[in-house]
């Protein structure tokens, strides 16, 4: 099983490197939203600092959602998903490898970019570790939950809006915990409680979401 997981992870990495635009789009969107926000609300540093936790997390959430619409689409169009379903290997393991590859080359890049954009908004340097940890724990949950919606809408020609309607309500706990951790750090309070809850959500998503994704794919392709 581990060998199959590794081979599929390498395959997905190669495919992603052949489509650099798909990797760059969420990062560009994330950076543009953060860069334009000060122009809209004004350059007052205290106001930007107070708004930065919510802004960073909302922008990250929308950037991840933007990248998920076509997660399974190319595999659906070329018939790979049908091969996955009839494969003797567990479908949940195969889709987990795909989501992990997507997060490594999209979500992790977003996490690494976030400190620079946070400092642009005036977020204090002592809050940056909390931002990194919260995004490291939260973006995998966003990717896994989003993959459930992507699996259910993969057969639809214009499933992006439906994907957002299905998934955005599930993102609310992650958004609340992520912004709460940053707000607590900004006010000099401990953020360990929010981060531990976020870690629990991550463990729960990694455990259960692959089975939901596999079921969604089977429904979408009519198996």
Interacting residues of 8 by C-beta distance below 8 A, sequence separation 6+: 94, 97, 98, 101
d(CA 159, CA 154): 7
Q: Is the pTM of this model over 0.75?
A: yes
8 A C-beta contact, residue 15 and residue 8: no
CB atoms within 10 A of CB 119: 14
In b/e form, how buried is each residue of 133-163, taking b as 16+ CB within 10 angstroms?
Answer: bbbbbbbbbbbbbbbbbbbbbbbeeebbeeb
Per-residue pLDDT of the chain (223 residues; tens, 9 = 90+): 667 778 878 887 887 777 777 778 888 999 998 988 888 877 677 888 888 888 999 999 999 888 887 788 877 877 778 888 888 888 888 888 889 988 888 888 899 999 999 988 888 888 999 999 999 999 999 999 999 988 888 877 766 677 788 888 899 999 999 999 999 998 888 899 999 999 999 999 999 999 999 888 888 776 5
Residue 125: name the closest of 49, 27, 38 by CA: 49
CB atoms within 10 A of CB 222: 8
d(CA 135, CA 148): 20
Local structure of residue 127 (DSSP, 8 states) = G
With vertex at residue 57, the alpha carbon angle to CA 52 and CA 62, rounded to the nearest 5 degrees, is: 125
Q: What is the pLDDT of residue 167?
A: 87
With vertex at residue 58, the alpha carbon angle to CA 35 and CA 116, rounded to the nearest 5 degrees, is: 40
d(CA 16, CA 23): 7
């Amino acid at each position: 099983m581990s060998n199959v997981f590794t081979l599929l992870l390498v395959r997905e990495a190669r495919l992603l490197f052949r489509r650099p635009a798909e990797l760059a789009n969420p990062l560009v969107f994330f950076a543009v939203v953060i860069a334009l926000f000060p122009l809209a609300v004004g350059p007052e540093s205290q106001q930007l600092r107070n708004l930065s936790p919510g802004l960073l997390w909302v922008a990250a959430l929308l950037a991840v959602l933007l990248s998920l619409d076509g997660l399974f689409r190319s595999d659906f169009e070329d018939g790979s998903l049908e091969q996955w379903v009839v494969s003797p290997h567990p479908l949940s393991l195969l889709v987990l490898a795909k989501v992990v590859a997507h997060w490594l080359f999209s979500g992790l890049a977003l996490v690494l970019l976030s400190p620079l954009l946070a400092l642009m908004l005036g977020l204090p340097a002592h809050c940056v570790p909390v931002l990194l940890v919260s995004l490291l724990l939260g973006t995998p949950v966003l990717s896994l939950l989003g993959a459930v919606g992507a699996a259910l809408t993969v057969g639809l020609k214009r499933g992006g809006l439906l994907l957002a309607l299905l998934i955005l309500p599930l993102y609310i706990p992650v958004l609340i915990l992520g912004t709460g951790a940053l707000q607590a750090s900004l006010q000099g309070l401990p953020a360990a409680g929010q981060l531990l809850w976020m870690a629990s959500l991550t463990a729960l998503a990694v455990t259960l979401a692959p089975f939901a994704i596999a079921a969604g794919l089977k429904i979408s392709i009519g198996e």
